[in-house]
Amino acid sequence: MALFDYVLADAAKWGGASGRDPQQFVDAKLRETIEMLESQPIDICANVFSNESASLWTDARLDQLFAAMAKHGVAMQIGTSDRLPGAAAIQRAKRMGVRFTLGSGSQRAGDLNRCEYGLAMIKECALTSNNFWVPGGWGPKAADRKRA
């Protein structure tokens, strides 16, 4: 992994078995995501939220997630495809010291955009260059941090 500039983890599939109670699902996803942030060499975490679960991320859950991201130097992707996370979550993460990246999450070349949602969130949330993760600009990359 040391050869790569960054490691991106896609959290879309975490959270245990489907069909579970929505609250239990989000609790499991939060627990698994924090465990992953603590144990894996990750620079950027994408797709933590889904349109189906976005309303279930309470302030307490967000605080746990963002504290772990900030502690371990993991940035959060602002995704254009699903337009998540929302402005309130971005502002909360910003206050807690989480850095950001922009991404599309696109599956097909025809779906690629210019990160219009991310650009809108930059303006709405008053994000500056200091709020964005840059390879090598925010300390050692994850692969080097986890080896130490």
Q: Does residue 71 fall inside a structural domain?
A: yes
User: In this structure, is residue 134 part of a structural domain?
Assistant: yes
- Note whether residue 50 is domain-resident: yes
Domain membership flag for residue 3: no
Answer whether residue 1 is part of any domain: no
Give the Å distances, CA to CA, from 148 to 41, 43, 125, 140: 11, 15, 34, 10
Question: Residue 131: which domain range?
Answer: 8-147
CATH number of the domain residue 91 falls in: 3.20.20.140
Q: Is 111 exposed, middle or buried, given 0-12, 13-18 or 19+ CB atoms closer than 10 A? A: exposed
2 located within any domain: no
Average of pLDDT values for 75-90?
Answer: 92
Percent of the chain with pLDDT over 70: 84
Q: What span, in angstroms and rounded, lies between the C-alpha atoms of 26 and 42?
A: 21
Does position 95 have pLDDT exceeding 80, yes or no?
yes
> Rg of the chain's alpha carbons, rounded to an integer?
15
Query: Is residue 88 pLDDT above 90, yes or no?
Result: yes
pTM over 0.95: no
**The total number of structural domains that make up the chain:** 1
| Banded model confidence at residue 10, pLDDT cuts 50, 70, 90 | confident
